[in-house]
Amino acid sequence: MIDAIKDFFARIKEAGQDWLGDGLILKIAGVVVPLYLLAVMIFGVYWSFTPEMPSTQYLQKDAKASVVGTATVSALIDVGEVLLDKPGGFISNDISPPGIFMDDMPAWEYGVLIQLRDLSRAMRENFSRSQSQSQEDGDLAKAEPRFNFSNNSWAVPASESEYRQGLKFLKIYRRRLADVDQPQAQFYARADNLRYWLAGVESRLGSLSQRLSASVGRPRLNTDLANDANARQSTAASSEVQVKTPWLEIDNVFYESRGTAWALVCFLKAIEVDFADVLANKNAAVSLRQIIRELEGTQQAMFSPMVLNGSGFGFLANHSLVMASYISRANAAIADLRDLLSQG
């Protein structure tokens, strides 16, 4: 029985040697596979670099002479194009190396995409409409749903194709803004419109700040029903909850926050141009610039090869807490700016 088993494996070995041609294929594979893995690693590292801020004309000194709304729409388009055309392209839906093995850059892309979706929705619902009963712009109504398409669809249709269609409709809307023969295309730079969009930004940043702070994990008092004696919720909850971001998700939350802040810096600089008169009337321009400065702090170069998660006052740094500090300060400044804009 043992001899039969040995003979069986010997025949398999002999057949394999005949098929491989005395080891030639193995030798080729021994060279090609390491070179392929090295190329995948190099491209993976290169694709992980955060792209530069888009250089656009709407931030020039003479931009105030342009049509109102052009700066914000241009910022939205530029951010979308960088998202799709940066090194490696759009990685979130990749099914081949190195994109399929990357998670930090897809998290960054998701943060950018969320802000792109929020601003395109605000553009359709508020910025382009004079009042709640007015008709929405047709091109913006076609653009906004396309940005809400799934970010991990590889084909039929691919995520990139849907997002490019959304950018195409935004470009048509921008062209119509400057056309005096098409007065239906409008952008209303009003304080209430700006407050509407900032409310969404404030909510997003507040959530990110909590998730970043939860990297160390600690008990938190349940304040869900605070300040309202008659408030109720669907199911009972403990008076004290343990909040902690899972260890494998810490770097994803960090890079999602980094992508969110990157997009917001671009958008807020454009808002400063289009809403210059509104901000000047409220004496709020410096408040907006302070928000931009706080968010720019999140884009500083990282000299660590990974996101460190030391305890709050421990020996190692905690990058999530540093990011949470910038995000929280920007969030508080946005709340102050919204209050300022609401004043007469």
- Specify the residue for token string 């302070």: 290
The more confidently predicted of residues 305 and 254 is 254
**pLDDT > 60? residue 21:** no
327 has pLDDT over 90: yes
pLDDT at position 45 over 90: no
- How far, in Å, CA of 80 to CA of 74, rounded? 10
Burial class (CB in 10 A: 0-12, 13-18, 19+), 14: exposed
Q: Rounded to whole angstroms, how far apart are CA atoms 87 and 66?
A: 32
- Specify the pLDDT at position 229: 67
The span from the CA of 147 to the CA of 150, in Å, is 8
User: Model-level pTM?
Assistant: 0.86
Residue 299 contacts residue 260 (beta carbons within 8 Å): no
* Residue 318 three-state SS: strand
The torsion angles phi and psi of 17, rounded to 5 degrees, stand at -65, -40
**How high is the mean pLDDT of the chain?**
86
Most confident of 60-64, 153-157, 273-277: 273-277
